[in-house]
């Protein structure tokens, strides 16, 4: 049997088997041309075993990124595994927004709930003069973030912290993509997310708002004069999150911004009428 026949056969079996070629190509580091040239060749025995293994894992709904073991995010390649959430394209939009609105040197940044380190590390990569602290309640996630920092040659600080419990100092930017899914929203989620990504990264009490509530209540003491807060939110949480922060920061401007799909995805808390550059 050649590679193409194998892929075609598996694609008939299950929906996500179309990922098989992608995962295989990525693991073998094949460019598109080498991959296409391979398709009509007989499968070698060790490759057949590899492909069977990938195929079984995909059939169990394991995310392709966990099987590959890494993923591209913004300006970085990050190791990913079940210790942390797979960083999403919407979060790249948040990183992009922060960079566009803060074209200055030497800012201090805190990334609360850093997971793989995606947000904080991509900011550090783009702005080497920024002093970036990665915080997470999960020691497992922090270990992964540390691996990603080292692999990308980025020097950042780490703190294991329940929101702000172990954080010291003040920051020009506090950014967070916290867990924001309500416990009763599971039926809206893909099985692969429910089954493989860590609960700690996904769910929050208070209809998904618990961590925003704590961020709103306690950010002020960790924010420098003129500091800004950037949040990723669930598409239906814009107004609720805005209300929470408006109470704590009555004088700041609070913007709810959409992602590329047009869904509310980010909330930004900054000084009123400030020039955003
Ligand atoms: C949605 S994931 C985001 C990960 C990463 N920032 C990203 O955007 O891909 C949320 C992260 O928040 C962390 N987390 C959950 N509860 C927390 C808490 N009380 N304090 C700090 N971090 C928390 C989880 O461990 C997880 O890594």
CB 258 within 8 A of CB 232: no
Give 224: exposed, middle or buried? Use CB within 10 Å, 0-12, 13-18, 19+. Answer: middle
From CA 233, how far away is CA 213, in angstroms rounded?
12
Backbone angles phi, psi at 71, to 5 degrees: -155, 155
Ligand 1, atom 19, residue with closest C-alpha: 162
CB 143 less than 6 A from any atom of ligand 1: no
How much is the average pLDDT of 222-228?
A: 97
Place 15 in a pLDDT band, splitting at 50, 70 and 90.
low
The fraction of the chain above a pLDDT of 70, given in percent, is: 96
Which pLDDT does position 275 carry in this prediction? 47
**Mean pLDDT, the chain, integer:** 94
Distance CA 166, CA 147 (A): 21
Q: Is the CB of 113 under 6 A from ligand 1?
A: yes
pLDDT of residue 13: 65
Q: Is 268 in the pocket of ligand 1 (CB under 6 A)?
A: no
230, pLDDT greater than 70: yes
- Whole-Å CA distances, 157 to 124, 135, 136, 205, 234: 11, 8, 12, 28, 28
The answer to whether residues 127 and 100 touch, using CB atoms and an 8 Å cutoff, is no
Does 258 appear as a known binding residue? no
The answer on pLDDT for 116 being more than 70 is yes
Distances (CA, A) of 85 to 88, 154, 202: 9, 20, 8
Query: Is 85 a pocket residue for ligand 1 (Cβ < 6 Å)?
Result: yes
* Position 175 pLDDT exceeds 50: yes
pLDDT one-digit tens code per residue, 121-174? 999 999 999 999 999 999 999 999 999 999 999 999 999 999 999 999 999 999
Q: Which two tokens stand for residue 191?
A: 């099985």
- Burial of 260 per CB tally in 10 Å (0-12, 13-18, 19+): exposed
Tell me which architecture the domain covering 70-271 has in CATH.
3-Layer(aba) Sandwich (3.40)
Q: What is the per-residue pLDDT across 52-111, written as a single tens digit (0 to 9) for each? A: 999 999 989 999 999 999 999 999 999 999 999 999 999 999 999 999 999 999 999 999
Mean per-residue pLDDT, 192-207: 95
Q: Which tokens sit at 92?
A: 């790249």
Upper half-sphere CA count for residue 245 (Cβ side, 13 Å): 26
Mean pLDDT of 3-20: 77
Q: Is 133 annotated as contributing to ligand binding? A: no
- Take atom 4 of ligand 1 and give the residue whose Cα is closest: 115
For ligand 1, atom 14, which residue shows the shortest CA distance? 113
Q: 201: CA distance to ligand 1 center in Å? A: 5
Amino acid 272: pLDDT: 75
What integer is the mean pLDDT of 217-221? 97
Ligand 1 in contact with 254 (CB < 6 A)? no
**Residue 25 forms beta bridges with which residues?**
none
Q: How far apart (Å, rounded) are the C-alpha atoms in residues 277 and 255?
A: 16
Q: ipTM above 0.85?
A: yes
Cβ atoms of 223 and 164 closer than 8 Å: no
Distance 146 CA to ligand 1 centre (A): 15
């Amino acid at each position: 049997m050649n590679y193409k026949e194998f892929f075609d056969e598996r694609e008939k079996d299950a929906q996500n088997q179309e990922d098989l070629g992608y995962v295989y190509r990525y693991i073998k580091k094949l460019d598109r041309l080498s991959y296409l040239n391979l398709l009509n060749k007989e499968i070698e025995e060790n490759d057949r075993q590899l492909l069977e293994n990938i195929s079984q894992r995909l059939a169990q709904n394991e995310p392709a990124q966990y099987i590959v073991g890494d993923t591209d995010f913004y300006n970085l390649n990050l190791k990913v595994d079940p210790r942390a959430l797979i960083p999403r394209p919407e979060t790249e939009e948040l990183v992009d927004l922060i960079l566009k609105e803060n074209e200055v040197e030497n800012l201090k940044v805190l990334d609360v709930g850093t997971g793989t380190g995606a947000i904080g590390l991509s900011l550090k990569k783009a702005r080497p003069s920024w002093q970036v602290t990665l915080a997470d309640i999960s020691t497992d996630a922090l270990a992964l973030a540390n691996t990603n920092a080292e692999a990308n040659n980025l020097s950042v600080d780490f703190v294991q912290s329940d929101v702000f419990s172990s954080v010291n100092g003040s920051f020009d930017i506090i950014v967070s993509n916290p867990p924001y899914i309500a416990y009763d929203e599971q039926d809206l989620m893909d099985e692969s997310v429910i089954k493989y990504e860590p609960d700690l990264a996904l769910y929050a009490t208070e209809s998904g708002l618990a961590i925003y509530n704590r961020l709103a209540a306690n950010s002020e003491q960790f924010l420098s004069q003129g500091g800004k807060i950037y949040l990723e939110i669930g598409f239906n949480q814009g107004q609720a999150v805005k209300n929470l922060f408006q109470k704590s920061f009555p004088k700041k401007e609070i913007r709810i911004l959409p992602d590329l799909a047009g869904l509310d995805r980010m909330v930004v808390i900054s000084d009123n009428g400030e020039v955003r550059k």
